[in-house]
Structure 1
């Protein structure tokens, strides 16, 4: 039996002392004719179930998951950073004779334009980074820190490849350093936070 009617799952079975078994009542939130105490509860599995046993052994998310994550996070970060930078610049800028509506309109347009451009740039960088990291993982079959650093180096170099060899080398070094900093921060957060 459930203790309160709003609770959908419980750790203790009324049928027996099964540890780790959660029971599900599909009618717990419904009131009226379906609000009964004598219904059968369904046992929920304690762990995720997989259709194929090979899926249970994979400790890494799929390439598509990482692609969407890196591209999306990079785009949103760029849009917020670029938009907020232009917003602060627009608040400081004041022209004589501007009405409030005109000033607000100019500020919103400039903020959206700068945010969109910065978001697109970082989204492309996230897409390139994940493509290179996924290719290295597929080729070498291991997921280590060096894949990320090499992917960052390749991303920076590929992004600025049309600007000449010197700019390409500098952008590759910056991308590699950024990826190394990201990897170091990830390792520190795993070690000290959780």
Structure 2
């Protein structure tokens, strides 16, 4: 090993050897080289003014969150239903199978139902914001009203009106709670 310029062991470099620094010519302090900005970068300046998700992001978010919430709720209901239907002579394998089947079936059906409601709400809210060019509590209330009415329209006018009123109240309550959390809970 005549060409190896190490001292003592193979892992320690010779103190007389100068190491290559690719950033030496740039005159940048190495400590601040990787301090990246935490604010988002925008391609166009008007995007930085907008404080809202796009309609596609809205659609994905509301549908996904509604499906997830409905699936979790349905699975919990399925677990309770499975425990109610268990018989004293069931083996452990049969009990586990009953719980898994019941929670899976109930979770899927609830997730699909609530996911469709989230999909309709996202479409309604994006439509209301596009028509009124405002994104406030009233846009969410109008979207909730429309969603409730559309979901129950097949059952008659009275059912659609009641469901629309409940949807509007629920959407208003969720938006008010979100604003209260933003204001009073330090995150």
Name the TM-score, length of structure 2 as normaliser. Answer: 0.78
Match in the other structure for 1:113: 105
Query: What is the CA–CA distance in structure 1 between the aligned matches of 2:135 and 2:85, rounded to whole Å?
Result: 48
Match in the other structure for 1:178: 170
Match in the other structure for 1:85: 77
Structure with higher helix content: 2
8 Å contact from structure 2 (residues 149, 164) kept in 1 = yes
- By relative contact order (CA 8 Å, sep 6+), the higher-ranking structure is 2
Aligned length: 161
Match in the other structure for 1:59: 51
Please state if 1:190 is matched with 2:173. Answer: no
Query: What is the CA–CA distance in structure 2 between the aligned matches of 1:158 and 1:189, rounded to whole Å?
Result: 30
Structure 2 residue ranges without an equivalent (≥5): 1-18, 24-29
* C-alpha deviation, 1:94, in angstroms: 2.1
Query: What is the CA–CA distance in structure 2 between the aligned matches of 1:191 and 1:49, rounded to whole Å?
Result: 26
* C-alpha deviation, 1:49, in angstroms: 2.6
Q: Secondary structure at the match of 2:52?
A: coil
Structure with higher strand content: 1
Query: What is the CA–CA distance in structure 1 between the aligned matches of 2:173 and 2:40, rounded to whole Å?
Result: 34
Pairing partner for 1:142 from 121, 134, 137 = 134
- Tell me whether 66-75 or 36-45 shows the greater mean CA deviation: 36-45
* C-alpha deviation, 1:38, in angstroms: 2.4
Pairing partner for 1:38 from 21, 26, 37 = 21
Match in the other structure for 2:148: 156
Pairing partner for 2:121 from 88, 112, 129 = 129
Q: 1:58 to 1:184 in 2, by over 3 A?
A: closer
**1:76-135 per-position Cα deviation (integer Å, ceiling 9, x unaligned):** 000001111110221233224322212211221111010111111111111111111101
Please state if 1:167 is matched with 2:155. Answer: no
